Amino acid sequence: MDLFPSHVLRVFFVFVVVFSVPTRHIEWKRVIHFRVSPRRRTRERVIYIYIYTRARERRDMVRDAARAHTARDVHAIESSSSLHSSPATPSRSALACGIPIDLRFRTSDDEAPDFIDDALDALRADVLSRRMAMTTPMDRLRATLAARAHETLRTCATDARCASKGEAMKRVMEDARARVWAPGEAGYDGIPGAEREAESEAEREAYRAFTRRCREAIATRLVERCYNGVTGERDKFWMAFAKRRFMNRV
């Protein structure tokens, strides 16, 4: 008679693997292969079920903790987008086509960050999200800026003329200074529902002037971020986000 029967050793081995090895290293298919045959005693099957259940619980706890940590990081990035955007609730007179146009622009590197910097800081998190809230004028402006910044990033990543920093700056500034189409016009390609049609020609011109200035600021600052300052080459970590669709836009 063996001092330690085979089925006891098998259960002991599974117990050691589950409670000594980190959950991420457990190969679940191999653990399942240790399932005892129906001829074994009921007590052995109960022990196995208990160990396997505990292992699944540990795996779920690790997965939930990782998801919660990621959600906190994304929320922190998203919540920072309105820190420097003043005013928070623009008046009716400060809106054009449903977005605020009386916001402060940073004119030098020594000044405090503005809403363009906030949009670029949150761009990578926004690209990973499937939808964005557009309940307030600032939310709609943020979505519009993110869409424009992602389009500029795609141009830098895919256009052969954007291989270096200097060439990319010229290329994206050409797009930024092109004609701005207001909502309701034939060439408008903005996010549906983010902006409304202008009620007057003055409102339409104010929207075009503000949008052109935003595009120029995005083009200048985004190139500074996504290109190496020393070699002038593309930053692969930024360019990786150009491969993804923003809010399922082509």
Q: Do residue 91 and residue 40 come from a single domain?
A: no
Does 48 lie in the same domain as 138? no
In percent, the amount of the chain with pLDDT more than 90 equals 34
Residue 112 exposure: Cα atoms within 13 Å on the Cβ side: 6
Number of helices (H) and strands (E), helices first, in the chain? 9, 2
Which residues have a Cβ under 8 Å from the Cβ of 233 and sit 6 or more positions away?
163, 164, 165, 227
Tell me what pLDDT residue 155 has: 93
- The pLDDT assigned to 37 comes to 52
**Percent above pLDDT 70 for the chain:** 62
Exposure string for 20-42, b = 16+ CB within 10 A, e = fewer: eeebeeeeeeebeeeeeeeeeee
CB-CB contact of 59 with 23 (8 Å): yes
118 in the same domain as 163: yes
Residues 223 and 186 occupy one common structural domain: yes
Question: Where is average pLDDT lowest: 8-22, 24-38, 188-202?
Answer: 24-38
Point out the domain boundary residue: 18, 42, 70. Answer: 70
Q: What is the CATH number of the domain that holds 150?
A: 1.10.1760.10
Kindly state whether residues 214 and 152 are assigned to the same domain: yes
Residues 129 and 166 in one domain: yes
Pick 66 or 227 by higher pLDDT. Answer: 227
Q: Is residue 133 part of a domain?
A: yes
Is 248 a domain residue?
no
Q: Which of 26-35, 42-51, 103-112, 221-230 has the lowest mean pLDDT?
A: 26-35
Q: Are residues 218 and 194 in the same domain?
A: yes
Asked if residues 132 and 85 have their Cβ atoms less than 8 Å apart, the reply is no
Are 168 and 231 contained in the same domain? yes
* Other beta carbons less than 10 A from residue 98's beta carbon: 18
Residue 40 reports pLDDT greater than 70: no
* Confidence check: pLDDT of 59 > 80: no
- pLDDT band of residue 191 (cuts 50, 70, 90) is confident
When pLDDT is cut at 50, 70 and 90, the band that residue 107 belongs to is: confident
Task: Give yes or no: residues 60 and 101 share one domain.
Answer: no
What does the angle CA 130 – CA 132 – CA 135 come to, to the nearest 5 degrees?
150
Residue 250 lies in a domain: no
* 191 shares a domain with 119: yes
Range of the domain at 23: 6-70
Amino acid at 148: R
120 with 201, same domain: the answer is: yes
How many structural domains compose the chain? Answer: 2
Residues 6+ apart with CB under 8 A from 87: 94, 100, 102
pLDDT range class, residue 26, cuts 50, 70, 90: very low
26-35, 56-65, 172-181, 226-235: which range is least confident on average?
Answer: 26-35
The model's pLDDT over 212-236, given as tens digits with 9 standing for 90+, comes to 999 999 999 999 999 998 888 999 8
Nearest one of 5, 6, 36, 30 to 18, comparing CA atoms: 30
Number of Cβ within 10 Å of residue 203's Cβ equals 16
66 falls within a domain: yes
Structural tokens at position 189:
């390609």
**Strand-pair partners of 100:** 95
User: Where does a domain end: 70, 104, 124?
Assistant: 70
Residue 1 lies in a domain: no
Whether residue 219 sits in one domain with residue 132:
yes
Domain contains 75: no
24, 46, 70: which is the final residue of a domain?
A: 70
pLDDT at 34: 46
